[in-house]
Structures are given as C-alpha cells and as structure tokens.
Amino acid sequence: MSIPARAVEYTSAVNQKFKTTGVALSNAQRLMRALKTSLCNLGASAWTVIKSSDGSTWGASDLWDSDGKLIWGTGNHSWIVLRQVGMATNFELCIDLNSATTTSATIVVSFASGFTGGTPGIAARPTASDEKVLISAAAWHSIPANTNHQLHIMVRVDGKVTRFFFTASNALRGYADFSVAKGTITQWANPSVAFWTSTLPSTTNLWAAANVFGTHAGVSLSLYVGNHVYGGVPFNSADVAYRAGGRLNSVSSDYPFFEPTLICATSGYRGRWGKLEDVYWAPQAGPPLSTMYPVATKIWVQVGGLIVPWTGDPLTTVM
Amino acid sequence: MGIPTPELTWDYTNINVDLNSTGNGVNDHKQMDKKWKDMLVALGFSVKLSCSSLDWAVRSYDTWTSISYLPLQPYFGDYDRPWIVLKNCASMGGLELCLLRQEWSGSNENNCRFFMSRDGFSGGSRNSDPAGNQWTFLDYGAHWYWTASATTFNTAWHGFIGRDPISGDIWSQRLFILEGGVVRHYYGFEKLKNPVSGITDPTYLFMLGLGTAAGPTHGNLNRGTSQPYRACINGSLQTVYLSCEGYVDYSLGEKLAVPHDITGEWPLLKAGVVCEGQGRRGYLGELYDLWFTSSGLAAGDMFPGDGSKQLITFPNIVVPWDGVSTPLLG
C-alpha cells in the first residue's frame, strides 16, 4: 500500500540530546523544562503557559524559567498549565510535579473548561471541571536512571496535533498524543483526545485497553484505538510472529497503513467516534523503532506500535 | 457516517427467488442442487460438462435439467453419479467448479462433493470424476447448505451480479440462500479491490461455500480459523480471512451488538483480505461493496432505516439491495 501523504505540515523539535548529569533530579528538571520550552517555541502552533508554580510562588506566568525552578514534592512543588488553542479554545495540559520521585508526575488535561478551579497554590495545582487525569503521581517516562536520552516533539502547524516521545538506549521511553480526531460523528462538538504513556504506544495499551481520553457533553470518554482484526488478533499482532502483519507483505513488500479509530464501549456512548489524525498502526513484530517511511524521505517514523509524522532527519535513539 | 454508495453496478434480476418445497424431502434436496446450478448460470457461469441419469453420458451441455436425473450416490464404489462442471466468465478468470452428487452413504441429501480449478476439468465418466489441477472445497460428508428441517423445506434465493461500471465486466457474483430467515448457504466470487502492488494475477478470485447453520458471520469470516474464502494469488490458491475494524479481541461489529449510542447508526466496516500463506502473506486488498456490520442485526435488515432499502444484511455482512423489494427470507 502506498505511503500516505501529509495534508498539513509540522513544526518540530526533535533529536534533542541530553547527556546524563549523573543526578536524577537535574536530569528530570532539564528534560521536563525542555519539553515545556519546546512546546512553547513552535511558532504559530506553540503552546502557551497559562499559569505555573515553582514551589515558592505561583501565578499567571511562566515561572519555569530555569531548571532549578522545577521542584518535585508532595508538599510545596512546581506545576504548570499549558494551553493549545489549535485543539480547542481552552484545551489545557497541567503537569504537576507532586511526587517525591522525579520520574513521577501527575498529568491532567482539560478539554474545554481550562484549569480555573480548585485552590491553586505552591502546594496544589488548579483543577478543571472537565479534567481527566492521564497519569496520577506515577511514571511520566521510563528512561533508565543515569542514561543519556533524547526528546522528540512534532506539532502540526495548525496546532491540531501534538506528539512527543522520549528515547534512550535505542528504545522508546514514553509517548504522548494530544490531537483533534478526524472523521468524527457530527455530534462530537469537541473531538480533542489525549494519551500519555510512560512506555510506548502499543496494541496492549491502545487496542486492548481504553487509554485514550476525550469528552462529550460533559462526560469523560474512555476510548479504545481500533485496528483491522482477523483471527481474533489485530493485524499487526506482535505475539504471533507468522501473522500477516508481523512482517513485510510477501507480495508487495510493504505494509498497509491502517488508520487507528476511536471506539467507546461504555454504555450510553458505544460506537466509533472518529479516527486519530496523522497516525497509522505499525507492524509490531517487524521493523524496529525508528524505521522510516519512505526510507528516503523519512516523512513518517515508527514509534512502538504506531507510525507518526517525522521530519526527514534520522532519528537519534542512542548517544 | 451515512450509507456508502456502491462502487459496482449491481444486477438484481436474481434476488427474491422462491424455491418452495416439492412436498418430498429427498426431492427438496435435489432441487437445491439443480437450482444452485441454475443460479450460477444466471450469474455468469456456463455449463462445460455434465453427466446425469438422463443418459449417463458425459455431455458438453447441461443434462441437469430435471431433479429426476439427479440421484445422490454413495462415495465408495463405482456407482454412477451425476456431476456437472461450470465455467465462470472471462472477467472472473474462467474458474471452473465441479459439483458431484456423491456422499458417504448416499443418504444425506444436502451433502455433495465440490471442487474448483483454475486450469479446468476434463475427462470423467458416469462412474469416475472429471479431474484437473483442482482444489477440494467440500468432500463427502460435508454440507454445502444447511437445513433445519429433516423433511421438507422452503428457501429464498438472492443472487447478485456486480459489474465494473465502465466496462460492464462482471467483478462480483454472490448468492445467499435463506431458510426461515437464516442464511444457510453463501458464495461469493470476487475481484479484489485495491490489490496491493505485486499481485500480477489478473483475476484475484475468491470463493466461498458456507454450509453452516448461521451463514456468513464474524465467526466464520473474520474471527474463526475456518477461513472459508479461497483466493487465487499470483497463481497460488490460498485460504484467506476477511479483516475489519475491531478492538480488544475481535470485530467492532461483534463486540458491539448495538447501534451507536449517540448517532443511532449501525456500523458498516470495510472488509479487507488477509492471507497468512507463505509467499502470499499480508493484507492483500479489499472487497467491493461488502461490509461487516453488527451481530445485533438479523438477515434481511435494511440500511438505512428510512425505508429506502439501499443495503441488506445477511446477517453479519451487508451488500447492496435494489431499493424496492422486500426480501424473501425463506
């Protein structure tokens, strides 16, 4: 099957390399701030800081202006709220460093209302009436301790898609997707969805579990990511090596690009709601991380079980 | 989501064909075999060779002209047995089918032996089978259709011809036989839509003969291991699955036996073709104008729900309908 073109281009901040400092805290501070800074420096599609805390003070400004301002803790600690108007007027992401462990954080999104509630301060993040907690004081990545690592961010120029992932030692170490679904049912007024895993996107955490989240009419949607299935397995099943999707098509020598769909199985909301934008299911038992499509122009790259937009550059996964 | 517009031009001349009981169980089964042959001819096949008790000679024309010429004979022993070879039209690659009225004991009237060949059948006599480079589809002891009745029964037949809207060539032939509202037999000969690059065989033939109690279901076509579809892929006959959208463990239509809770629409899921055979492994293409739907629907249910009768359910797959007729359900 021919490799799909991209209708809308991306701005990027990929292959950001970080040599380990040898200290967990400074590694975490540098990486998390680089993520924030990159998201906010992508031109017209940039995210904006709405409010933040550095553990000493908080307010409607970006207080994460140096690595040392990122304080992890269960008492006073840092947090930040970022907004992406390309997705929805008040689509916001709150990163809350409310853990004593620097590899842990709380990741929360608001699809429409924004983080205007709660009693925010230097010890508590703001809340949103429609908030969805993606990660609760748990791992936000899986980069091994004291290991060189990389950060890769791709944001569509219209702001409708943001994806970033972490790599280290030739492996994917975390992946996030904030995007506006396409091909949606007409009733879905705000088809923004969010997903963050500390490991990698896969059949296990997307197809077999409802880990993509959205909202409809004030109700949180937990969404599975559909794929082509046969014989009781997804096409790209990783656990059965002889399965058709586990290796190159032996007739055409390529792969199909199946679009991930969004399916809700919760009573009252059952059915397909739409598709994820600019992403395809990848073979999981075939090519490794960083396989490019096409090989020459590298406009798509395989990350875990997905194929996502890429820059045309090689992907750095080890240093 | 809306209702998809069929891509092929469909001929509905052979839908809603009633086959009423003769009043005799054995004859009811005999007329099934004869009608099956008649329907294949109506859908574009021609009779290449036949043999029957008309005169027990091998003829290059149709001698299956009366059920009285079609005794069911035991498989073992040199019994005279009726058989017929049918050849498909050129646009479907000229695939040949051979049906023999022969069974283990000669008492199970809905059993037959059933072969297909790309290269064709030749030879044969009143007590020997025509032969070719053939694929056994059903051998003795297998039902080619199912009936809930041990005695007499009525059936409804729905035959479809799908043509390339430009050339008029036949690209799809389908038959559904229903008894009591249940699909008891289904076959489809299909030209592959959007074949992947590398498929050089110009015919891409697919075939199915389902003699099950439930008809073409997710379990038969998508989830199960039976893989009743056969595909000729670059000269090699393979079994294939029909794939479709799903999650957790199988088809969306099988997982959700309800319409969309918000839109009220039932799913229509594109049917893909997946092969696991060595040298032919992968996603090969799609089927024209055939979709999986929810297991919450029954055979004969129509799409959309406004009475316009554009598509029909049989029972987990959906195909175009004539927009007018109320389907007979046997």
Give residues with Cβ within 8 angstroms of B209, minimum separation 6: B114, B137, B138, B144, B185, B186, B187, B228
Q: Give the dihedral sign, CA A121/A124/A129/A132.
A: positive
Which pLDDT score, from 0 to 100, does residue A241 have? 46
Pairing, β B73-74 against β B102-103: parallel
Residue with tokens 């029972």: B315
Q: Which residue of A has its CA nearest to B245?
A: A228
Token pair of B13 as six digits? 């001349």
The fraction of chain A above a pLDDT of 90, given in percent, is: 80
B71 touches chain A (CB under 8 A): no
Which pLDDT score, from 0 to 100, does residue B311 have? 98
Instruction: Read off φ and ψ for residue A166, nearest 5 degrees.
Output: -110, 145
Give residues with Cβ within 8 angstroms of A108, minimum separation 6: A93, A94, A96, A115, A125, A128, A131, A132, A133, A134
The fraction of chain B above a pLDDT of 90, given in percent, is: 58
State how far residue A88 is from chain B, nearest Cα, in angstroms.
22
pLDDT at position A112 over 80: yes
- Across the range A280-299, mean pLDDT stands at 79
What is the residue extent of each domain of chain A? 1-19+148-319, 23-140
Which pLDDT score, from 0 to 100, does residue A84 have? 98
- Taking CB atoms and an 8 Å cut-off, how many pairs form between chains A and B? 139
Q: What is the dihedral of CA B277, B283, B285, B288, to 10 degrees?
A: 90
B248 touches chain A (CB under 8 A): yes
Q: Of B286, B302, B314, B50, which is closest to residue B174 (Cα–Cα)?
A: B314
Find out whether B293 and B259 touch, Cβ atoms under 8 Å: no
Which pLDDT score, from 0 to 100, does residue B279 have? 81
B247 touches chain A (CB under 8 A): yes
Confidence of residue A200 (pLDDT cuts 50, 70, 90): very high
Query: Does the distance separating the beta carbons of B241 and A232 come in below 8 Å?
Result: no
pLDDT at position A286 over 70: no
Which pLDDT score, from 0 to 100, does residue B54 have? 97
Query: Does the distance separating the beta carbons of A251 and B244 come in below 8 Å?
Result: no
What is the residue extent of each domain of chain B? 21-138, 158-320
- Across the range A145-167, mean pLDDT stands at 97
Give tens-digit pLDDT for B194-223: 888 888 775 556 655 555 666 788 888 888
Instruction: Read off φ and ψ for residue A314, nearest 5 degrees.
Output: -65, 155
Find out whether B75 and B91 touch, Cβ atoms under 8 Å: no
Query: Does the distance separating the beta carbons of A230 and B274 come in below 8 Å?
Result: yes
pLDDT at position A285 over 60: no
- H or E element, residue A194: strand A192-197
* Chain B residues lying within 8 Å of A244, measured CB to CB: 274-276, 281-283
Least confident among A30-44, A248-262, A305-319: A248-262
* Chain A residues lying within 8 Å of B260, measured CB to CB: 185, 270-272
Residue with tokens 């009591």: B180
- Across the range A91-117, mean pLDDT stands at 98
Which of B223, B252, B284 has the CB atom closest to A231's CB atom? B223
* Chain B residues lying within 8 Å of A268, measured CB to CB: 261
Confidence of residue A240 (pLDDT cuts 50, 70, 90): very low
Query: Does the distance separating the beta carbons of A248 and B262 come in below 8 Å?
Result: no
Q: Which residue of B has its CA nearest to A237?
A: B249
If interface means Cβ-Cβ distance under 8 Å, which residues of chain A face chain B? 1, 185-188, 207-208, 216, 224-235, 242-245, 247-254, 256, 261, 263, 265, 267-272
Which pLDDT score, from 0 to 100, does residue A215 have? 97
Residues of chain B under the 70 pLDDT cut: 1, 106-107, 148-150, 202-214, 225-227
* Chain B residues lying within 8 Å of A257, measured CB to CB: none
3-state DSSP assignment of residue B237: strand
Interface test with B, best of A228, A262, A280 (most B CBs within 10 A): A228
What is the pTM assigned to this prediction?
Answer: 0.93
Average pLDDT, rounded, for chain A: 93
Interface test with A, best of B241, B247, B250, B254 (most A CBs within 10 A): B247
Least confident among A13-22, A129-138, B7-16, B102-111: B102-111
How far apart (Å, rounded) are the C-alpha atoms in residues A139 and A125? Answer: 18
State how far residue A212 is from chain B, nearest Cα, in angstroms.
13
* Chain B residues lying within 8 Å of A230, measured CB to CB: 222-223, 241-244, 272, 274
Token pair of B150 as six digits? 């041990």
Query: Does the distance separating the beta carbons of B249 and A232 come in below 8 Å?
Result: yes
Which pLDDT score, from 0 to 100, does residue B9 have? 98
How far apart (Å, rounded) are the C-alpha atoms in residues B253 and B293? Answer: 5
Give tens-digit pLDDT for A24-42: 999 999 999 999 999 999 9
How far apart (Å, rounded) are the C-alpha atoms in residues B66 and B69? Answer: 6
- Across the range A50-65, mean pLDDT stands at 98
Find out whether B21 and B28 touch, Cβ atoms under 8 Å: yes
Find out whether B70 and B82 touch, Cβ atoms under 8 Å: yes
